[in-house]
């Protein structure tokens, strides 16, 4: 039995990339691990079949109340899947929903949280969720944002981008490692080495670089083109879009940039996401959200 390590992020922030890196690192094979085997390594906290032993009604009819009632026990069940640490993907904010925690801290050993510039996140949200840019900007600031129940998944509760980031990162802890998507791009060797150190691992540099190569955007996109990716939403043409940073400069209007900064300036400032040429977009009186999740 192993304790849980959450791989957490707001959607479209690099969670799948991190999962792929770790999967390739642990498997240590001489070819990339299939992206469609990623759930063999990292569980998804929202998959509905985990509730099968607790609910007699058809799983596609599970209610929000039933999900909340059994969530803590379901997550305790995760610890029995592997004898060592169990990695679990989540896009939920860190807090309670309907009076029940979204993450069972009693069986948690730690978490890796990936944060990405919201100016780029909105561009990735559009094709992934099949929404317009304006809808993506609105969703980014929506405290009730999340997913609906489906036949295969229970709802996820993202909160706004700011709430998601704040609730996971506001209290530094030895059990929490926060990594920026942009550092994964710009400084992959240093950044992923820090990830392995946080996990108490000491792999060779060669092994780390092979895992970086096998989980690169180019490799993941090529795999998706050849075999498909079962996590791709049906509404989206592809899961892996471009994997770049700062695309917002060519694709967002100044008004859209200012709106996102106005909505999220507090957390954006913490992670260095407010551009120098938009410093004046930060409200003179910094409003503090009263939503803690």
What pLDDT is recorded for position 226? 67
Tell me the pLDDT band of 265, cut-offs 50, 70 and 90: very high
The answer as to whether 266 is a domain residue is: no
| Residue 286 pLDDT > 60 | no
Report the run of H or E that residue 91 belongs to, with start and end: none
- The Cα 147–Cα 155 span in angstroms is 5
Whole-prediction pTM: 0.89
Phi-psi region of 98 (alpha: psi -120 to 50; beta: other; left: phi over 0): left
Q: What is the pLDDT of residues 176-230, one digit of tens each?
A: 999 999 999 999 999 999 999 999 999 999 999 999 999 887 887 777 776 766 4
The answer as to whether 275 is a domain residue is: no
| Residue 237 pLDDT > 60 | no
The answer as to whether 151 is a domain residue is: yes
Q: What is the pLDDT of residues 18-38, one digit of tens each?
A: 999 999 999 898 888 877 777
What pLDDT is recorded for position 15? 93
Question: How many independent structural domains does the chain possess?
Answer: 1
What pLDDT is recorded for position 114? 98
CA distances from 33 to 191, 228, 243 (A): 21, 14, 19
- What would the mean pLDDT of 78-103 be, rounded to a whole number? 94
The answer as to whether 58 is a domain residue is: yes
For the chain, percent of residues with pLDDT exceeding 90: 62
What pLDDT is recorded for position 228? 63
- The Cα 273–Cα 270 span in angstroms is 8
Length of the chain: 293
| Residue 165 pLDDT > 90 | yes
What pLDDT is recorded for position 94? 98
Whichever domain contains 204, its CATH number is 3.40.50.300
CA distances from 54 to 32, 68, 71, 174, 247 (A): 37, 12, 10, 34, 45
The answer as to whether 185 is a domain residue is: yes
| Residue 156 pLDDT > 80 | yes
What pLDDT is recorded for position 230? 47
Q: How many helices (H) and strands (E) does the chain have?
A: 12, 7
- The Cα 75–Cα 108 span in angstroms is 9
Backbone angles phi, psi at 87, to 5 degrees: -85, 135
Tell me the pLDDT band of 232, cut-offs 50, 70 and 90: low
Computed over every residue of the chain, the mean pLDDT equals: 88
- The Cα 90–Cα 135 span in angstroms is 23
| Residue 109 pLDDT > 70 | yes
| Contact status, residue 274 vs residue 268, Cβ threshold 8 Å | yes
Give the DSSP letter string of 248-278. HHHHS-HHHHHHHHHHHHHHHHHTT-S-GGG
Q: Is 21 helix (H, G, I), strand (E, B) or coil?
A: helix
Residue 158 DSSP code: -
Can you list the alpha helix ranges (DSSP code H) found in 102-238?
Answer: 118-129, 133-140, 161-169, 181-186, 188-198, 205-214, 217-227
**Domain of 54?**
4-117+143-238
What pLDDT is recorded for position 118? 98
The answer as to whether 82 is a domain residue is: yes
- What would the mean pLDDT of 5-25 be, rounded to a whole number? 94
For the chain, percent of residues with pLDDT exceeding 70: 90
| Contact status, residue 159 vs residue 10, Cβ threshold 8 Å | no
């Amino acid at each position: 039995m192993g304790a849980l390590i959450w791989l957490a992020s707001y959607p479209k922030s690099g969670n799948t990339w991190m999962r792929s890196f770790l999967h390739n690192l642990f498997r240590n094979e001489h070819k990339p691990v299939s992206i469609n085997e990623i759930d063999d390594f990292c569980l998804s906290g929202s998959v509905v079949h985990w509730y099968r032993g607790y609910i007699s009604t058809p799983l596609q009819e599970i209610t929000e109340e039933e999900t909340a009632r059994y969530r803590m026990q379901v997550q305790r069940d995760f610890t029995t899947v592997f004898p060592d640490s169990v990695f679990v993907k989540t896009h939920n904010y860190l807090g309670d929903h309907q009076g029940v925690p979204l993450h069972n801290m009693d069986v948690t050993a730690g978490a890796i949280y990936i944060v990405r510039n919201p100016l780029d996140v909105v561009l990735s949200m559009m094709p992934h969720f099949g929404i317009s840019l304006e809808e993506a900007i609105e969703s980014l600031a929506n405290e009730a944002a999340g997913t609906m129940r489906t036949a295969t998944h229970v709802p996820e509760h993202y909160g706004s981008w700011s709430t998601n980031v704040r609730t996971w990162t506001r209290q530094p802890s030895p059990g929490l490692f926060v990594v920026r998507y942009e550092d994964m791009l710009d400084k992959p060797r240093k950044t992923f080495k820090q990830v392995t150190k946080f996990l108490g691992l000491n792999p060779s540099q060669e092994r780390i670089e092979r895992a970086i190569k096998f989980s690169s955007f180019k490799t993941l996109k090529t795999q998706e083109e050849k075999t498909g990716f079962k996590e791709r939403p049906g509404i989206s043409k592809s899961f892996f879009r471009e994997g770049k940073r700062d695309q917002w400069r060519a694709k967002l209007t100044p008004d859209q940039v200012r709106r996102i900064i106005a909505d999220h300036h507090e957390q954006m400032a913490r992670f260095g996401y407010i551009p120098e040429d938009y410093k004046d977009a930060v409200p003179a009186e910094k409003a503090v959200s009263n939503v803690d999740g």
